[in-house]
């Protein structure tokens, strides 16, 4: 009689005002990875509010969470206040100490950094915040997904899906990753070119920075200095 293999524990860390797609994008793909079991961890089992106004139900608390094989920290508007959440930062650090893979999506990289995990590492984050990566000891690499040893960081929001497929290919081979890509019909064909500052009209980049990202980056910088 063969013994059942232990699951490959994928742990997502949630906090208030998380960007749901940073979490749900990679979660949708990683949950179908062979042997994977997804855990959604938060300080309590109360709904965690997203930055679009609906809640996500955690499946485990920080206290009860199993050891992750792959730890993932998404980003969102709640990252700046989360940087001073000692319980959350300690949980990330403790989980990371024995995780095979330590990962982030978007501004979740700064939570990894606050836990001391990006010192001297190549990393990426959302384009509006890349200039702040040196504040957590990281060296910015301009890529959608950056591997540095067992630390994997993904850029803004939708890049979490690319990160998930890349991890699946690394662990189980390209055919498995391609099968999941086909299963979810992930074949991006956006109506406009311009999902990065380099491919967007400069007046749109400047407008986004002045309307939103300058203030958000200043808030993040203040939190990092605090």
- Find the domain containing 22 and state its range: 8-190
- pLDDT, tens only, 2-14: 455 799 999 999 9
The answer as to whether 224 is a domain residue is no
Encoding tokens for residue 42? 């938060």
The dihedrals phi and psi of 101, each to the nearest 5 degrees, come to -130, 135
Can you give the pLDDT at residue 193?
Answer: 86
Q: What is the CATH number of the domain that holds 158?
A: 3.40.50.880
Q: Which residues are catalytic?
A: 106
The answer as to whether 203 is a domain residue is no
pTM: 0.95
The answer as to whether 102 is a domain residue is yes
Which stretches of 31-153 are DSSP H helices? 79-82, 86-98, 108-114
The answer as to whether 131 is a domain residue is yes
Nearest 5 degrees, angle CA 28-CA 18-CA 140? 90
Number of domains present in the structure of the chain = 1
Strand pairing category for 55-56 and 48-49: antiparallel
The answer as to whether 208 is a domain residue is no
The answer as to whether 202 is a domain residue is no
The answer as to whether 56 is a domain residue is yes
- pLDDT, tens only, 17-74: 999 999 999 999 999 999 999 999 999 999 999 999 999 999 999 999 999 999 999 9
Burial 136-174 (b: 16+ CB within 10 A, else e): bebebbeebbbbeeebbbbbbbbbbbbbbbbbbbebbee
Can you give the pLDDT at residue 4?
Answer: 58
The whole-angstrom separation of Cα 37 and Cα 133 is 31
Once rounded to an integer, what is the mean pLDDT over residues 100-116? 98
Q: How far is residue 132 from each of residues 41, 137, 193, 214, 224, measured CA to CA in Å?
A: 27, 9, 26, 12, 9
At 123, which helix (H) or strand (E)? strand 122-123
E-state strands within 28-93: 36-42, 48-49, 55-56, 60-61, 70-73
The answer as to whether 198 is a domain residue is no
Can you give the pLDDT at residue 1?
Answer: 43
DSSP bridge pairs for 171: none
- pLDDT higher than 70, residue 93: yes
């Amino acid at each position: 009689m063969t013994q059942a293999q232990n699951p490959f524990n994928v742990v997502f860390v949630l906090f208030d005002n998380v960007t749901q797609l940073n979490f749900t994008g990679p979660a949708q793909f990683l949950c179908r990875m062979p042997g994977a079991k997804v855990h959604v961890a938060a300080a309590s089992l109360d709904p965690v509010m997203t930055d679009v106004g609906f809640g996500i139900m955690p499946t485990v608390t920080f206290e009860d969470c199993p050891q992750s094989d792959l730890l993932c920290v998404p980003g969102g508007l709640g990252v700046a206040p989360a940087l001073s959440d000692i319980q959350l930062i300690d949980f990330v650090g403790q989980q990371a100490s024995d995780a095979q893979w330590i990962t982030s999506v978007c501004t979740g990289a700064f939570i990894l950094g606050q836990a001391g995990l990006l010192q001297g590492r190549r990393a990426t984050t959302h384009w509006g915040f890349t200039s702040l990566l040196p504040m957590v000891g990281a060296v910015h690499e301009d890529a959608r997904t950056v591997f540095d040893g067992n630390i994997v960081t993904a850029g803004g929001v939708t890049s979490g899906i690319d990160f998930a497929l890349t991890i699946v290919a690394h662990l189980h081979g390209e055919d498995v990753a391609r099968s999941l890509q086909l299963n979810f019909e992930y074949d991006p064909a956006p109506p406009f070119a311009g999902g990065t500052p380099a491919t967007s009209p400069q007046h749109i980049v400047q407008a986004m920075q002045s309307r939103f990202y300058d203030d958000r980056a200043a808030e993040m910088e203040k939190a990092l200095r605090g």
